[in-house]
Amino acid sequence: MKLEVRNVSKSYGGRLVLREINLTVEEREFICILGHSGCGKSTLLNMIAGYIPPDSGDIIVDGRPVTGPSRSRGMVFQDHALFPWLTVLNNIAFGPRVQKVPRQQAKQMAREYLKLVGLEAYESHYPAELSGGMKQRVGIARALAGQPDILLMDEPFGALDILTRESMQAELRRICEKLKPTVLFVTHSISEAVYLADRVVIMKHGIIADVFEVNLSHPRSPHAPQFGEAMARIERVLMDDERAGADGAAEDALYAVKAGSA
């Protein structure tokens, strides 16, 4: 599995949201796309998912251009988007079922993924009966059960409280160690990106501002000095104003002001 984004641009109502984006995701890589809201990161993810077409450029999965949504690119949404009329088990079995897997086998598959996210006891519950974190676990299990080549995650933990969020991040890492999927994860949290990703792609004003390799072994501790260093580096890129970037002195001054006010 290899995903390539080549010179992709997109504009809405005359405003350029994405400008000449180039990005390659290798097999089994975990990439975080990090940026402020409105930087175009969700638009990019939605285009990779095939929900919206790019204005120009190509998105290529395994040598073939993306023309629409398909099961090769599974999606986890921030609002989890579970089917409220299906039980937890049937939600997870949805992917296998529409892919023509026989009913019993699909349920068996669903049970395995349910076990993976630790919700075996809730298989006959409806989504409305679950907490936010549990719903998102089901969302992840459902996306994985669809057997995607790449897992796209659009701020999946954005609506969760901080404690749940941290346990979900650990949970996701654990699942990744086990299944080694290819993941493209959109977030606006620097610590989340550093905790989860092999590579962090920083987006600003519709362009990729920088790409960081995070060379820390898992499980990563947010208290380790290298973790803090990585966060600080990313923060510097993220917080810098573009105009200040032209002038090193101004950049430093601006950073000092921002750090002071923070």
Partner 1 sequence: MNRSDAAADLSRVQSSPVRGKSGVQGRPGASRFTLYNMTFLPSILFFVLWELLARANAALKWFNPRFLPPPTQLIEEGWKLAQTGIILDSIVSSTTRIVTGFIIGCAAALIAGVLIAKFRAVEFWFSPVLNLVGPIPALALLPLFIIWFGIGEFPKILLIAWTTFIPVLVYTLDGFKSVPSTLIRSALSLGATGRQVFIRVMLPAAIPNFLVGAQVSLGLSFSALIVSEMMGASSGLGYIIVDARNFFKMTNMFIAIILIGLEYSLFSWLLRLVEKKALAWRKDGLRDAVQR
Q: Give contact residues for partner 1 (rule: CB under 8 A).
A: 49-51, 68-71, 73-75, 77, 79, 81, 83-86, 94-95, 98-99, 126-129, 142-143, 146, 148, 152
Q: How far is the CB of 181 from partner 1 (least distance, A)?
A: 14
Is 27 in contact with 16 (CB distance < 8 Å)? no
Q: How far is the CB of 73 from partner 1 (least distance, A)?
A: 6
Please say which residue, 3 or 230, places its beta carbon nearer to partner 1: 3
List, in order, residues 6 or more apart from 190 with CB less than 8 Å away. 34, 231, 234, 235, 238
What gap in Å lies between CA 42 and CA 185, rounded to an integer?
10
Q: How many helices (H) and strands (E) does the chain have?
A: 9, 10
Q: How far is the CB of 91 from partner 1 (least distance, A)?
A: 10
Q: How far is the CB of 107 from partner 1 (least distance, A)?
A: 15
What gap in Å lies between CA 88 and CA 108, rounded to an integer?
13
Structure tokens at 204: 């600003």
DSSP state of 56: E
Please say which residue, 14 or 84, places its beta carbon nearer to partner 1: 84
Radius of gyration (C-alpha) of the chain in whole angstroms: 19
Ramachandran quadrant class, 152 (left: phi over 0; alpha: psi -120 to 50; beta: rest):
beta
Is 217 in contact with 27 (CB distance < 8 Å)? no
Please say which residue, 129 or 247, places its beta carbon nearer to partner 1: 129
Residue with tokens 């599974």: 74
Please say which residue, 69 or 118, places its beta carbon nearer to partner 1: 69
Please say which residue, 137 or 204, places its beta carbon nearer to partner 1: 137
Q: How far is the CB of 69 from partner 1 (least distance, A)?
A: 4
Please say which residue, 30 or 94, places its beta carbon nearer to partner 1: 94
Measured CA distances, 4 to 189, 203, 230 (Å) = 24, 17, 26
Q: How far is the CB of 177 from partner 1 (least distance, A)?
A: 24
